Each structure stands twice: as C-alpha cells, then as structure tokens.
Homo-oligomer: A and B are copies of this chain.
C-alpha cells in the first residue's frame, strides 16, 4: 500500500509566524500523500476576549457555548485553515482546507458527561473517507480544522488529536498510514526535564513496563494510550516529536516511533 502521512500540529506552532512558516515548509516537502490536522492556538481565546465572551476551560477542554462555537469555527475553519492553505499552495503543495463537517467526513455527537456540560463539543462516531480519497488521488493535500458536525447539522468543536487519530484509523484501510503528533517536545521522554532522554522506539510491552515502573512522564500517558489504540486499529506507525524537525521525525532520526 502507498504511504499516507497524517500530521497533527499543535497550537504553539500556529501561534508563531516563523515557526509556522518553517513547519509548513517541512510539511510541503513531504513526498507523497499527506493530511495536516491543525489545532487552534491562542487566536480564538484572544478573539473571545476582544468580544468580551468569557471562556471556561475544564480539564484543558474549552467549554463551548453558542457564541464560542461561532468563534472557534471562524478562527479554526476560517482564518487559520485558509492562511495555512494559501501558504502551502504558494509553496507548490496544492492543498484543500476543510473541517470535519465538510463532505460529512467526520460525524460526531455532542459530548455527554455526567457532571459537566461541555456545550458544543463533539465526540467522533464515524469517518467517511470518500472526499479525502478523491482529493488525495488528485495529488491534493488536505488541511483539516478541528470542527465536526452531528447528523442534525449542529457544528461541534472537536479535539484535533482525536480527529488525527480517527482519520488515521479510517485511512489505514486504504494506505499504509503514519500518524505524526508534532508539538513543542522532542518526543516521549523518560525524564520530562531531560531532552536527551527521548525514547526512540517504543512498543506495547515496553509501554506497559514503563507505566508499571512509573518511568514515564504522566502527562504523556493519554497520548500514548491513543497511539497504541491507533496501532491496534491498523495504523502502521505513530510518531511523536518536535514539529520543527518534521523531516527527521518521518525518517526516524528524531522523536519517538511507536509500532
């Protein structure tokens, strides 16, 4: 099977024009089929603040009321998505920007939670790969903003890491899919304060052992659980590492590769 790269890039890169430019250069240099999933960055919070719309975060998740949904849709699927697309096109990496709602690619439902009302936050039920396949087949790369919808037409703010993972799982039926979580860290580290302690390769038994030994940074555990779930579901590999070393991540020269 042909290789597909699905790259998630974090908000801290989006927020920094120079870092974003470097990252997009590296992304556009990836040979072959590729999808970029971007998070939000601070622009949504800034816009909400300018409009005096109070923002509440619970467990790192933005509580999304109707006004906030409008803001995140405007910022993520509007400005950030189109700015990235225009810059990639200018580099010769012809790209279609879209949200999970477009072509009903990702169907979700409003999160049900016993204690907390997260508002218009989506949990993913289904991925439809038709539009993605048709565009990739044309040699067009895809840039996905973290907005989805429910079957009734309600837009929903949705975690970008989860979108990347669900896309990777669905696309692994058609491609040998590499899922790359790129952010501000060098990879999975034994010691979070020591960038030299990056674990280059990791498999399920090693992860189990490290959890038992507590020899892994607790904050990485949910990301790793998701990574191993993706592998279980057919994704070829998951790579975690520095967004500014994207080429090296793909070649296995930096970051953590999970199989």
Kindly state the separation between the CA atoms of A183 and B76 in the bound complex, as whole angstroms.
Answer: 30
CB distance from A178 to the nearest CB of B (A): 23
Set of chain B residues within 8 Å of A95, measured between Cβ atoms: 102-103
Are B135 and A89 in contact, with the CB atoms below 8 A?
A: no
- Verify if A101 is at the interface (C-beta below 8 Å from B): yes
A130 contacts which of B79, B101, B138 (Cβ < 8 Å)? B138
Residue of B nearest to A107 (CB): B89
Binary contact readout A42-78 vs B (1 if CB under 8 angstroms, 0 otherwise): 0000000011000000000000000000100111111
Kindly state the separation between the CA atoms of A95 and B90 in the bound complex, as whole angstroms.
Answer: 26
Kindly state the separation between the CA atoms of A41 and B155 in the bound complex, as whole angstroms.
Answer: 20
- Verify if A154 is at the interface (C-beta below 8 Å from B): yes
Of A3-11, A80-88, A216-224, the one touching chain B = A80-88
Set of chain B residues within 8 Å of A104, measured between Cβ atoms: 89, 94
Are B151 and A90 in contact, with the CB atoms below 8 A?
A: yes
Are B155 and A103 in contact, with the CB atoms below 8 A?
A: no
| Count of chain copies | 2
Set of chain B residues within 8 Å of A151, measured between Cβ atoms: 90
Known: A73-B79, A79-B73, A79-B74. Contact between A86 and B135, CB under 8 A?
A: no
CB distance from A39 to the nearest CB of B (A): 15
Binary contact readout A131-151 vs B (1 if CB under 8 angstroms, 0 otherwise): 100110110100000010101
In the complex, which of the residues A74, A134, A147, A153 has the most CB atoms of chain B within 10 Å of its own CB atom?
A74
In the complex, which of the residues A79, A98, A154, A155 has the most CB atoms of chain B within 10 Å of its own CB atom?
A79
Set of chain B residues within 8 Å of A81, measured between Cβ atoms: 77-78
CB distance from A46 to the nearest CB of B (A): 11
CB distance from A40 to the nearest CB of B (A): 12
- Verify if A99 is at the interface (C-beta below 8 Å from B): yes
- A residues 148-164 touching B (CB-CB < 8 Å): 149, 151-155
Are B90 and A135 in contact, with the CB atoms below 8 A?
A: no
Kindly state the separation between the CA atoms of A90 and B108 in the bound complex, as whole angstroms.
Answer: 12
A102 contacts which of B97, B131, B152, B155 (Cβ < 8 Å)? B97
CB distance from A110 to the nearest CB of B (A): 13
5 tightest CB-CB pairs across the interface, nearest first? Answer: A78-B78, A90-B153, A74-B74, A74-B78, A86-B149
Q: A85-B149, A134-B135 are in contact. List 17 more A-B contacts (CB 8 A).
A: A73-B82, A74-B78, A74-B79, A77-B78, A78-B78, A82-B99, A86-B101, A89-B149, A89-B153, A90-B152, A94-B103, A95-B102, A96-B131, A97-B99, A97-B101, A103-B140, A131-B135
